[in-house]
Structure 1
Amino acid sequence: MKQKCLTESNVNQKLLNIQYAVRGPIVARAAQIEREIQKGAEKPFSRVIRANIGDCHALGQKPFTFVRQVLAVAACPALMSCPDIPDDVKERVKEILDDCTQGSVGAYSPPAGLTIVRRHVAQYLTARDGVPASPEDIYLGAGASDLIKAVLTLFVQDVGGRAPGVMIPIPQYPLFSGTLSELGLTQVPYYLDEESGWALPPSELQRAWSHADCSVRALVVINPGNPTGQVLSRDNIEEIVRFAYERNLFILADEVYQENIVSKEFHSFKKAMHEMGAPYSAMELASFVTSSKGWAAECGARAAFVELCRVAPRVLVAFNAARAVAQCPSVLGQCVIDCVVKPPAPGSPSYTTWSRERRDVRRVLQQRAAAATRAFNSLPGYFCNVIEGSMFAFPRVDLPAGAVRAAAERGLAPDEFYCLQLLEETGVCVVPGSGFGQRAGSFHFRTTILHPASEFAHMLAAITNFHHQFLKTYSLSCLTDDDD
């Protein structure tokens, strides 16, 4: 038999190190269970509840009318004559199409994105931060993951014979660890302080930096946090900025959940740097925002932007060349970004509907965050910080020794064992904390909190009942083993 051209031994070895728990083995098992149910298999539950990924529309959030009308008319300009389409939608689409080649979203845009959309992004950032933003610093992309990888690629070069490294938070969104593995960049983990609301102590940054066996070149900060849901205080942001300045680190600020904050004020890194003044206001920064999160939650559109601040001209030349190779992000996705950064204005025909839909989304997020925090903290052995932003809960679970031992016997991490048992017995699919990173000896899981009210209540009740039975089973198991 002819040997395969690609084998495990000759494929890009960096790819073999990528792990992405959000779509990992437990999620694969959930899909298998769904197929088993469809074929008539008997389970102690009637359906699988997917709580593994922050896909709002998949969890029942309705699309925003303004966004979808803009997309519909942009894709089919003949709808301009439809009397049911509001005038402000038509005006927006005309503005976008005037910037498209031959007036079609089917044509390539410039690699960085349509000029009009980048201009609107700059206006949005200027209003948000009170700091002038330039369209020339804005790059549109196929989701935040596309742009994060593009920026991280800039750091692959060895420095002084030492491998390059990037500091990332633990817990973290595995996009970062996976992308660093793919690019061959060294991960330099720093731990968020769970007991202090997932704050970021400068002493921990110093510990991680000083123990790094590489040339640390950049610092990733996720604010609001994913999976942790915290919002960094202004003082904490300033401490992080000072740390990065003193060590000449480039800051990558993942700020995609800023529109999902329910209880705190958001401070962007750009604004903080500006208000801190020189020399911090001259630091390099990449800040990411996506339409997959926030109020629009258009995950399938795959659209985002990055603002690259104060980057050296020759570096920008290289970045622009790399983006040109990819041609351009989806132009329809760029239309979504335009709607996100420039929603209907007060008094416009679409404003009343948009405002009501926005208010409903925010109310649901606030209710779910409060309910999840309350429910998890009521369970024995559970601890969950208050969810301040994003769309996830990341509770810590103290597992009995019997469960830890049972997990080891099956070759599983204890939290993976717990989540797998939860899936098999209740149909609730969550992601073990080990997929995001956690302190040794601690166990967590991440769950989305955006399900419809009845399904969300059912999920919390299922987790509650399961946990009580799990403790009973494995605590008794531990006592029986000790007696033997």
Structure 2
Amino acid sequence: MSQIKLISRASRVLSGAAVRSELTLGEAVSAQPQRNHTSVRTMASQRKTLTIETLNPCIKTLEYAVRGPLVIRAGEIEEELEKGVKKPFKKVIKANIGDAHAMGQQPITFIRQVLACVVNPELIETAKFPADVKQKAKAILAACGGNSVGSYTMSLGIELIRRHVAEYIEKRDGHPSNWQNVVLTGGASNGIKNCLQLLCNQVDGKNSGVLIPIPQYPLYSASLAEYGLGQVGYYLDEDKNWALDLDELERAFVEGSKQYAVRALVVINPGNPTGQVLTRKNIEDIIKFAQKHSLFVFADEVYQYNIYAEDSKFFSFKKVMTEMGKPYSEVELASFMSISKGYMGECGLRGGWMELVNMDPDVQANLYKAISAMLCPTTVGQTAVDCVARPPQPGEPSYCLWIKERTAVLDSLNSRAKMIVETFNNMEGFTCNIVQGAMYAFPRIELPPKAIEAAKAANKKPDVFYAFKLLEETGICIVPGSGFGQRPGTFHFRTTILPQPDVLQEMLDVFKTFHANFTKQYS
């Protein structure tokens, strides 16, 4: 169902409710004295201040494919199954979003024990939790007003935890990190949006534009639309395992500069939805490009733990540009990390951080001012961030279980990444690049001409048509490639590798049968 149709249907439902309300009110008033009729008529004729015509046009433009019409329909199907409606399947498999715990991943014990203690401090004295869990909980509570996670914190986050994040970055990169440049956020998304807002201005008579990868994570296209910023897409090279090509970056910059003042560059590494991991050489080339064109770099590095390919390694943008020396070490950068991904998968806690590098001090002061207007990220999210930034160390009571659980999660994701690529590459009409990292595969699919004609007749994009057929006939929910962007004339979809191994195998077997039937139907 298209976004417009959804809005239209919602409008009809609301309008119907309003009519029923007015009729009920009118019936009640009919027995009242005449003097009340004037006020009733005034109420009934009240015009809406906000209508679809007067709504912020940027909000109407905004789309977010990961939670779009397919996901809404998947929810409806789940309700239908609960009511006993007969379907050719028994459950919906939501492979559309990177929500690890929803797909059966178990929480990390250390994180949850610390959370339990800060939320219910009595457990520090009564529970049989390891000593390092209790020690961390006490330290975090001591940093909270009134020794309670129910209090506000500083807008930029608890200082103790910001210092621990800076230590984590120093250990990761081998270079200093100033804790005052670290901001705790409600997930990486909040930090990214905070920084994008800084660009909402005209330069030389042009609106600001931002270079984003195609395919891209819809947070970026949605946020740019929301803020009225220009989207300047650069295509990743699918034939080279989604590598970032400098010639393509130059093409996009030149083309985008005709309409916008291109001021920033977004890089997602490891990639979402594409699953690639950039080489150090590729990162160096990107930094040189950013320096050449005075671009602010958004380094989306939330999947830095999710590296699977044996010849792949994560390098942070900050580490690489620092080691390149001047002038490259002076590039403006914001890097982002989250507790929602990695081995943690704590999506609902909404925790993360950003580190600001080489930002103009006056700009940074104004950013901090804007962040202060939003009060603070959640204290439980900040607590989980501290567990990631300073996890158990060798010799501490929680270390053995923590490393065992962490390794099990990442090893399982590694095997599932290989399973999904192998299956898709053995299906007729599919090609799928190796999943080097992150949590997704983005296979390319060849659709028969008759299927493309049927999609046109149904007023749907071909990949959307395919995804809806898949959902209705199998209960498998994926996201069409058009929601992320793709080269014209190509069709893809994104699926997570997060379903647990038995569910993933079941999903792939059903997918294989569906695709064979679909191809036969439209051949």
Could you say whether these structures have the same fold, taking a TM-score greater than 0.5 normalized by the shorter chain as the test?
A: yes
CA-to-partner distance for each residue in 1:221-245, whole Å, 9 max, x for gaps? 0000000000001111111100110
**1:414 aligned to which of 450, 455, 462:** 462
Q: In 2, distance between residues paired with 1:452 and 1:322? A: 41
Q: In 1, distance between residues paired with 2:52 and 2:133? A: 52
**1:91 aligned to which of 135, 140, 155:** 135
Compute the displacement of 1:390 (Å): 0.7
Aligned match of 2:264: 218
Percentage of matched positions with identical amino acids: 51
**Aligned letter for 2:381?**
G
Query: How do residues 40-439 of structure 1 correspond to structure 2 at under 5 angstroms?
Result: 40-212=84-256, 213-263=259-309, 264-439=312-487
TM-score, normalised with respect to structure 1: 0.97
Q: In 2, distance between residues paired with 1:225 and 1:214? A: 26
Q: In 2, distance between residues paired with 1:252 and 1:29? A: 33
Compute the displacement of 1:76 (Å): 1.1
**Aligned letter for 1:214?**
Y
Figure out how many residues of one structure are paired with residues of the other and give that number: 475
**1:468 aligned to which of 480, 493, 516:** 516
Q: In 2, distance between residues paired with 1:68 and 1:455? A: 25
CA-to-partner distance for each residue in 1:117-158, whole Å, 9 max, x for gaps? 000000000010011001100001111111110000000111
Structure 1 stretches of 4+ moved >3 Å: none
Compute the displacement of 1:83 (Å): 4.6
Q: In 1, distance between residues paired with 2:157 and 2:80? A: 44
Q: In 2, distance between residues paired with 1:17 and 1:303? A: 28
Compute the displacement of 1:192 (Å): 0.2
Structure 2 unaligned spans of 5+: 1-44
Q: Does 1:39 align with 2:83?
A: yes
Q: In 1, distance between residues paired with 2:345 and 2:228? A: 31
Compute the displacement of 1:437 (Å): 0.4
CA-to-partner distance for each residue in 1:251-294, whole Å, 9 max, x for gaps? 00000001111121101100110111111011110000000011
Q: In 1, distance between residues paired with 2:403 and 2:427? A: 37
Structure 1 SS opposite 2:46: coil
Q: In 2, distance between residues paired with 1:299 and 1:466? A: 31
Structure 2 SS opposite 1:63: coil
**Aligned letter for 2:265?**
L
**Aligned letter for 2:130?**
P
Compute the displacement of 1:93 (Å): 1.0
CA-to-partner distance for each residue in 1:390-431, whole Å, 9 max, x for gaps? 111110001010100000000000000011111111110100
Structure 2 SS opposite 1:125: helix
Q: In 1, distance between residues paired with 2:273 and 2:422? A: 18
Distance 1:186 1:348, change over 3 A: same
**2:69 aligned to which of 5, 12, 25:** 25
Structure 1 SS opposite 2:355: strand
Compute the displacement of 1:378 (Å): 0.3
CA-to-partner distance for each residue in 1:92-133, whole Å, 9 max, x for gaps? 111111211121111111111000100000000001001100
TM-score, normalised with respect to structure 2: 0.90
Compute the displacement of 1:175 (Å): 0.2
Q: In 1, distance between residues paired with 2:413 and 2:243? A: 22
**Aligned letter for 1:113?**
G
Query: Bigger radius of gyration, 1 or 2?
Result: 2
CA-to-partner distance for each residue in 1:164-183, whole Å, 9 max, x for gaps? 00000000000000000000
Aligned match of 1:456: 504
Compute the displacement of 1:301 (Å): 0.4
Q: In 1, distance between residues paired with 2:143 and 2:82? A: 48
Q: In 2, distance between residues paired with 1:30 and 1:301? A: 24
Structure 1 SS opposite 2:298: strand
Aligned match of 2:494: 446
CA-to-partner distance for each residue in 1:1-38, whole Å, 9 max, x for gaps? 32211001111110001111111111111111111111
Q: In 2, distance between residues paired with 1:434 and 1:314? A: 39
**Aligned letter for 1:171?**
P
Structure 1 unaligned spans of 5+: 476-484
Structure 2 SS opposite 1:109: coil
Compute the displacement of 1:82 (Å): 2.0
Aligned match of 2:26: none
Structure 2 SS opposite 1:147: helix
CA-to-partner distance for each residue in 1:193-229, whole Å, 9 max, x for gaps? 0000000000000000000111000000000000000
Instruction: Name the Cα RMSD after superposition.
Output: 0.7
Aligned match of 2:37: none
Q: In 2, distance between residues paired with 1:239 and 1:324? A: 36
Structure 2 SS opposite 1:258: coil
